[in-house]
């Protein structure tokens, strides 16, 4: 695509995700797969905790690239080159993610790859701030915060104890997540393209849901033609469809439905950070789908049951909180989803005692049922939005 220094012409057509952004999501998808594979290969509390811890910096790296592209990227050659260099860091994260915790060398590889990915974002802001003065506060805040957190990321490698190392990494990650909140006023002039931002988060949600599809299809391929596996896979597919339907249902995907996200502020932060537990829950649910299908029709172990049932609960609560920020806690769809979360939570005490196909079937029925029940409220919301 021809690169020009002139400002892009105004257009009433909503901006859409570019093909290069979709390609970038594939790179992140590979890293997500390596992280969630830890749960499938070793279904215990330690693997779940490790996967959750590794998912956060990966998700945050995706947010940084998505938000930058929303603010400044017009898919020029320079943006593609700089983003491609940063994505090399994401590839490195994918390579090392499956073995983090096994040796200091692997941990160092993961950290250096992550810092390389963040350097790519800094380079993009440096490039764009030359022509767009409103991005200079973003560039200065981002590079200062990145340098400060890098001290803890790299410093953690000096510790021989994993507890101390991961504590230092936790401090670094907390600093990074807190930075947008701390410098919120400095970024007041920076505007977002709301429909494009909403679309980007939706596309990444599909990437995460793809892990569920891979989970139960790989499980079915492993189990081959066993009748119990087919039934369980069908239930897992229905649950995945229900989760997809719930996220993309109704008024939340209507163009212009998130106009409040145009400027940095509370709603933008709720929308962004609300997706972290939501997507992590979907990732852990998907990570356990393969175990569910290959389990011989038996019951799930505690870890897999907690990941699947608990993941659905966290997803429903998170998506309700994000929606409530725009509509209010008493809005019909919010209430229905919270009630559904309570009903799903009632399954936790018996999740390991119910045949896995039955458990997934009930979960699918609850999620899809909630989508059907909330349809009138979705229509009412659409009418209110005009």
Residue 255 has pLDDT above 80, yes or no: no
Whole-number pLDDT of residue 12: 52
Mean pLDDT within 14-33: 92
Whole-number pLDDT of residue 187: 79
Mean pLDDT within 276-300: 86
Tokens of 16: 């859409």
Residue 11 has pLDDT above 80, yes or no: no
Q: Cα(135)–Cα(71) distance, rounded to whole angstroms?
A: 9
Mean pLDDT across the chain, nearest whole number?
A: 88
Whole-number pLDDT of residue 251: 54
Lowest mean pLDDT among 37-41, 225-229, 290-294: 225-229
- Of 173 and 211, the structure prediction assigns the larger pLDDT to 173
pLDDT more than 70, % of the chain: 91
- Of 255 and 127, the structure prediction assigns the larger pLDDT to 127
Residue bearing tokens 């905790």: 49
Q: How many CA atoms lie within 13 A of 191 on its CB side?
A: 6
Whole-number pLDDT of residue 300: 86
Whole-number pLDDT of residue 370: 96
Asked if 361 and 230 touch (Cβ cutoff 8 Å), the reply is no
Whole-number pLDDT of residue 254: 59
What is the sign of the dihedral through the CA atoms of 279, 261, 322 and 185? positive
Whole-number pLDDT of residue 215: 84
Lowest mean pLDDT among 100-114, 180-194, 246-260: 246-260
Lowest mean pLDDT among 21-25, 53-57, 68-72: 68-72
Tokens of 249: 């249902």
Is the pTM higher than 0.85? The answer reads yes
- Of 371 and 386, the structure prediction assigns the larger pLDDT to 371
Residue 343 has pLDDT above 60, yes or no: yes
Alpha helices in the chain (DSSP H): 19-41, 45-71, 77-97, 104-129, 136-155, 162-182, 194-223, 227-248, 266-293, 302-305, 311-327, 332-345, 356-373, 375-385
Whole-number pLDDT of residue 7: 39
Q: With bands split at pLDDT 50, 70 and 90, how would you rate the model's confidence at 211?
A: confident
Rounded to the nearest 10 degrees, the angle between the axes of helix 19-41 and helix 194-223 is 40
Q: With bands split at pLDDT 50, 70 and 90, how would you rate the model's confidence at 226?
A: low
Q: Cα(99)–Cα(350) distance, rounded to whole angstroms?
A: 33
Residue 257 has pLDDT above 80, yes or no: no
Residue 221 has pLDDT above 50, yes or no: yes
Residue 3 has pLDDT above 60, yes or no: no
Whole-number pLDDT of residue 258: 65
Residue 363 has pLDDT above 50, yes or no: yes
Residue 354 has pLDDT above 50, yes or no: yes
Mean pLDDT within 218-236: 79
Tokens of 197: 């931002």
For residue 228, report the phi and psi dihedrals to the nearest 5 degrees.
-60, -35
For residue 200, give the nearest of 350, 14, 386 by alpha carbon. Answer: 14
Beta-carbon contacts of 147 under 8 Å, excluding residues fewer than 6 positions away, are: none
């Amino acid at each position: 695509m021809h690169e020009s220094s002139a400002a892009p012409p105004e257009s009433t057509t909503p901006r859409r995700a570019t093909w290069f952004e979709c390609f970038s999501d594939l790179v992140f998808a590979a890293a997500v797969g390596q992280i969630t594979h830890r749960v499938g290969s070793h279904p215990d509390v330690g693997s779940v905790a490790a996967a959750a811890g590794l998912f956060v910096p990966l998700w945050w790296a995706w947010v940084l690239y998505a938000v930058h592209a929303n603010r400044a990227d017009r898919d020029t050659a320079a943006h593609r080159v700089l983003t491609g260099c940063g994505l090399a860091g994401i590839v490195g994260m994918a390579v090392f993610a499956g073995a983090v915790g096994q040796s200091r060398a692997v941990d160092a590889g993961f950290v250096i790859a992550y810092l390389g990915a963040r350097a790519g974002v800094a380079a993009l802001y440096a490039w764009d701030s030359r022509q767009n003065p409103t991005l200079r506060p973003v560039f200065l805040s981002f590079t200062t915060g990145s340098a400060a957190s890098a001290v803890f990321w790299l410093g953690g490698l000096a510790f021989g104890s994993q507890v101390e190392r991961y504590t230092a990494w936790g401090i670094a990650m907390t600093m990074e997540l807190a930075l947008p909140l701390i410098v919120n006023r400095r970024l007041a002039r920076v505007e977002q393209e709301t429909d494009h931002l909403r679309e980007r988060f939706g596309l990444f949600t599909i990437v995460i849901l793809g892990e569920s599809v891979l989970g139960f299809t790989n499980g079915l391929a492993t189990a081959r033609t066993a009748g119990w596996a087919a039934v369980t896979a069908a239930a897992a597919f229905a649950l995945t469809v229900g989760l997809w339907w719930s996220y993309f249902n109704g008024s939340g995907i209507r163009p212009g439905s998130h106009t409040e996200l145009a400027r940095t502020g509370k709603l933008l932060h709720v929308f962004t950070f609300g997706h972290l537990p939501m997507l992590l829950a979907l990732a852990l649910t998907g990570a356990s789908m393969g175990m569910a299908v290959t389990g011989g029709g038996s019951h799930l172990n505690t870890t897999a049951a907690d990941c699947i049932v608990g993941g659905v609960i966290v997803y429903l609560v998170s998506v309700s909180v994000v929606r409530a920020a725009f509509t209010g806690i008493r809005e019909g769809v919010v209430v229905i989803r919270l009630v559904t979360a309570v009903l799903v939570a009632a399954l936790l005490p018996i999740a390991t005692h119910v045949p896995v196909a039955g458990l997934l079937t009930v979960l699918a029925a609850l999620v899809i049922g909630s989508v059907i029940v909330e349809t009138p409220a979705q229509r009412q919301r659409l009418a209110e939005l005009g």
